[in-house]
Structure 1
Amino acid sequence: MINNKNKTIYPSLAGRHALVSGGASGIGEALVRALAQQGCLVSFFDIDQAAGDALAKELKAQGYQAHFDLVDLTQIETLKDTIHGRMSVWGTIRVLVNNAANDHRHTLQELTSEQFDQCMSVNLKHHFFAAQAVAPAMAEAGGGSIINMSSNSWMLGLAGYPGYVTAKAGISGLTKGLARELGAQKIRVNTVLPGWVMTEKQKRLWLTPEAEAELMTQQSLKEKIEPEDVADLVLFLGADDSRMISGQSLVVDGGRL
């Protein structure tokens, strides 16, 4: 690890193939940018083609290696085929960040069985099958890092989206199981649980002066969490500097929990 003018550089990440799901905007966009700036070959998936194409074009113009694919992560066979296709071009994925999610608000009574299944597909299922797709080659290459993005919402027991909270709790369980499953192959699996991160979507839909004031009373650190704050932790977990950290749930919420 090298600290270069307040920007931490992880030499072990340079040249490694990293994959980020949901990478076109929000936290995912910050992850893609941060990994690219470390010298990774960054593949990223999203359903927002315009944003994905724009981000890839911008990063390439800056001299970074980034490739975007339009992928609906609920289509598992397409997800796996696209992952294998990217590995045929850039080699084994050594850092997988399962980030894509949708925190659509809903109540217990209004969620149908079909909507519940869709919620699990968008927020949990693809984590499992992306890991399944990358693990054999990752093990053959000598190991790697799988980072599952969850949320502190299930630990806080927040109301307003019970299906989402269920999925996010499941991610932490999945991480524990995969860490045991894959540890002998030098594959580390960890969960990152962000708090309320101030993405453009959050600002547009839910951030009000009243909500911000209440959040500041709950957080120990009296500053808003930015996507880059989450990316900083993901870089550490993706790099060899965290080589003995696995099966853990690491929270980035300003001390709210």
Structure 2
Amino acid sequence: MKILSFVGIKGGIGKTTLSYNYGEWLATKGKKVLFIDLDHQSNLSQTYNVYDQDGTVGVIFTGNGQIKIHHVGDNIDLIAGDMHLDDIETSIENNTNKNMLLYMWLSDNYDSLNLGQYDYVIIDCHPDFSTATKNAIIVSHDILSPITPSEHGYNAKFNLQERINEFKKEAIDYTTRKSYVTAQLWFVANMIKHNTRSSHDLMDALKTEREKGDNSCIAVIPEKELFNRSTLDHESIAKMAEEHTIYNRQREFFDEIDSTFTKITDKL
């Protein structure tokens, strides 16, 4: 089982859209996926028309109640987001183990909930570096963060790197001095247009980084309304590609996304 978290410091970078489409793509490849929605806006859950506030991710952090796992598609299950997760985070702020609650929940429920059946656990985080996000980072094998063609979008890359490095030093086993944060941080250039200065500047900056030995940006997702609207329309790119009329009309784009997701999977 591989645990991936989609993390971003700022909103509007396509994080939920990317996590949704990547998970759906994995499912079409025969992989069993569990989504965990740690964004209190619950956009990922609502994409699957799950509004149920019983048995949400809030249980992980409060210990009150039982988690409900929703079967939302072929090879896809979901633990729904909690719209009051920000309030829950505030209520546990003084708990000494607040950053380890998801780690402990996964360990305690691995057998009883048959979590080992999943090839991938994909965690969609709120765009911040709060307690829930830190919990996701601790349990993750890899972290994926979209960066977009804007000054602040590119700077967020360094902001996130610095915060994770600081957190890595903070979240340690005091007996062994080893960090609980072991995840590799990767970036995906998202919403890239071929005809804008901001996109060219971002790609040039990433090229310069590669020349200096920084290969942390592993994929490029083009700006495409079809992709951006997939969560709003509740239909993933992978599902759209199964419709021959749409596929034939947008063959190049669908093939590019398939190639990109394959590249990401191979890298992870």
Same-fold status (TM-score > 0.5): no
Q: TM-score, normalised by structure 2?
A: 0.43
Q: TM-score, normalised by structure 1?
A: 0.44
For the pair shown, the structure with the greater C-alpha radius of gyration is 2
Q: Which has the higher contact order (CA 8 A, sep 6+)?
A: 2
Q: Which has the larger share of helix?
A: 1
